[in-house]
Amino acid sequence: MQFESFIQAESAMLWGAFAIALIMGAVVNKTNFCTMGAVSDLVNMGDTGRMRSWLFAIAVAMLGVAALEYMGLVDVTGTFPPYRAGNLIWAENILGGLMFGIGMTLASGCGNKTLIRIGGGNIKSIIVFAIIAVIAYFMISPFPGSDQTLMSLLFYDWIRPLSANLGQSQDLGYLVAGEDGAKTGRLVIGLVLGLALMAFAFKSVDFRGSFDNMLGGFVVGLAVLGAWYLTSNILVESFDGPVSLSNYYAQWDMLADSNEGKPAQGRPLASQSYTFINPMGQTLGYLAGGFERKLLNFGVMAVLGVIAGSLLWALLSRSFRIEWFSSLKDAVTHVIGAVLMGFGGTLAMGCTVGQAITGVSTLALGSILTFGAIFIGSALTMKVQYYKMVYEDEASFGKALLTGLVDLKLLPERFRRLEAV
């Protein structure tokens, strides 16, 4: 997809991102594709249907990326955010993932689900969105009149030194096959893992018996793949031949006659796919900046597209309902969850879609670690909530936590403090 001017090319990318997100938002609302719901169904009822739908989405994205990258049709190396960066921020992936998993459970859904709920009329989710957006924005952007961010104040000095340098890349293809064999390694590993996940999904009657589970997983996975393809193939004509949006931005003074149409930042022009925590912060920046065109990027259009798609389905299906907090406790719980999602999702560099589907599709080790941490954080929170509800005053937080860890096979049986229910 080659365009004569930067503005034409960027507009195609932005509207493409919106259109794909619109479809994804409508289908996710229709099918109730929900990553927190997937964990809840598995932990509380033993129902694996929605969990396998999540894994099916990963499989679709992973298989597509493996094939298209091998053919040179997508770029998932120089991405925004840099999933395959050689510096593995494992502590941030794990801590952020745990925080996000706990937060999404307390706030009734992940970042994507928050947007879906907003489109469906849930005012609680607007509050959750606003809190996440403020934290995500200031985790990356300096406070007014300062060069400090929430990341630099609270995390950077002690957590970044824990990172590990893995060389040129952290993806499984590079780590297993080395630099020379990385291309083939990525194809083989991506195909093997993707097919294994797909087989695992379809093995279950819980999954096969639900058209919504199959449709939701397929469309979300295809949306992630579609965004990778879109953002990897938008080119602008120049006197040296067609260049990508990010390369055009880097050579702006040489290629452009003026600064008209120049975005505020170049990094969001790189190849990318759907993630929803940092884009909430970007959306806040766009609103606070008076809707300036230079602040409009892929992430903002993704957020708006999912909300619009969800709203469209809610109106068509007559499921639009205004919902508010049921109690003060409900409000406080959602606020705490939103805070944890804002910090955790930014720290871990993504959410249940941004890392667990988009990031994992690149075979990035950090994304896989984040996925595991999110699952554990969410599942353990549900276990603690359940034991506290069943045993009431008898179950202290410590007892419920230890018992939950035993249930999840993270501690041996001798640590159990409450009878299993």
59 token code pair: 């499989």
At 148-174, the pLDDT tens digits run 999 999 999 999 999 999 999 999 999
- Write the pLDDT tens digit of every residue in 108-132: 999 999 999 999 999 999 999 999 9
**pLDDT value at residue 29:** 97
Percentage of residues in the chain with pLDDT exceeding 90? 92
CB contact at 8 A, 15 and 301: yes
pLDDT band (50, 70, 90) for residue 358: very high
Distance in angstroms between the alpha carbons of the first and the last residue of the chain: 57
Spatial distance between the Cα atoms of 78 and 271, rounded to a whole number of angstroms: 7
pLDDT at 239: 80
pLDDT score for 257: 84
DSSP character string of 358-384: IIGGGTBHHHHHHHHHHHHHHHHHHHH
**pLDDT (tens digit per residue) in 261-305:** 999 999 999 999 999 999 999 999 999 999 999 999 999 999 999
Dist. CA 109–CA 113, nearest whole Å: 5
Strands 235-236 and 164-165: unpaired
What CA–CA distance (Å, rounded) separates 245 from 279?
A: 19
Query: Cα(125)–Cα(117) distance, rounded to whole angstroms?
Result: 6
* DSSP β-bridge partners for residue 374: none
314: closest CA among 124, 125, 123, 120?
Answer: 120
pLDDT at residue number 118: 97
- Stretch 362-386: mean pLDDT, rounded? 97
- DSSP letters, 55-96, are HHHHHHHHHHHHHHHHTT----SSBSS-TT-SEE-HHHHHHH
**Are 380 and 404 within 8 A, CB to CB?**
yes
pLDDT at 318 over 90: yes
Rounded to an integer, the average pLDDT of 337-354 is 97
- What's residue 392's pLDDT? 82
- Residue 420 pLDDT class (50, 70, 90 cuts): confident
Please give the share of the chain, as a percent, with pLDDT higher than 70: 100
Which has the closest alpha carbon to 235: 42, 30, 9, 80? Answer: 9
Q: What is the pLDDT of residues 78-89, one digit of tens each?
A: 999 999 999 999
**Residue found by looking up tokens 């997809």 in the block:** 1
For residue 372, pLDDT over 90 is answered with yes
Residue 394 pLDDT class (50, 70, 90 cuts): confident
Report, as an integer, the average pLDDT of 14-42: 96
Place of tokens 């952020």: 96
Where is 334: in which H helix or E strand? helix 328-347
For 218-236, how does the pLDDT look when each residue is reduced to its tens digit (9 = 90+)? 999 999 999 999 999 999 9
pLDDT at 393 over 80: no
Query: What does the mean pLDDT of the chain come to?
Result: 96
Residue pLDDT, tens place only, 4-27: 999 999 999 999 999 999 999 999
Mean pLDDT of the region 124-147? 97
Q: How far apart, in whole angstroms, are the C-alpha atoms of residue 363 and residue 183?
A: 12
